[in-house]
Amino acid sequence: MTKRQFVVIVVDGDAGEFTVEGLISDDRPWNSAVVNAKKIGCDIRFFGMRDLEPSVAAAERQASTAGDRA
């Protein structure tokens, strides 16, 4: 059985930037990193996007928000 692959959008609210990571099949390392960043006061969020190519996910994110791609 093949694992579902997806992209993750990581949003840095402090810098007003975002990055697209993927295609990945396990977001646990990103989840841990975000939790640790929040513990030290960083405004970091992340979320998975459906099965999209990273460039398409970035374009959708850019169109829907005011953040810059890092």
Q: What is the pTM of this model?
A: 0.73
Strand order in the sheet with 6-12: 44-49, 6-12, 17-24, 68-69
What is the C-alpha separation between 46 and 31, in angstroms, rounded? 8
CA neighbor of 61 nearest in space, from 52, 26, 42, 15: 52
What is the C-alpha separation between 66 and 51, in angstroms, rounded? 23
1-56 residue pLDDT tens: 567 888 898 999 999 898 888 888 999 999 999 999 999 999 999 988 777 777 87
